Structure 1
Amino acid sequence: MSDPVVVIEAALRDLDVEHTRRDRGEYLVTLPGTNRLQTPCWLVVREHTLFVQAFVCRQPDENHEGVYRFLLQRNARLYGVHYALDRIGDIHLIGRASLDAVTSAELDRILGQVLEAADGDFNTLLELGFASSIRKEYAWRTERGESLANLRAFEHLFT
Structure 2
Amino acid sequence: MRQMPLAQFSTLGGAINAVINSASSICEGPEYIHLVLDSNVKMSVKECERLRRGDEATGIAIIDMSRDTPIPQQLYKFWASKENRRNLHLLVRYIVCNDVCANPIIASSVVSDNEALRAIKFGNEVISELLNWIEEANARVVAHVE
Q: If the length of structure 2 is used for normalisation, what is the TM-score?
A: 0.29
Q: If the length of structure 1 is used for normalisation, what is the TM-score?
A: 0.27
> Which protein shows a greater Rg?
1
Structure number with higher strand proportion: 1
Which gives a bigger RCO, structure 1 or 2 (Cα 8 Å, sep 6+)? 2
Structure number with higher helix proportion: 1
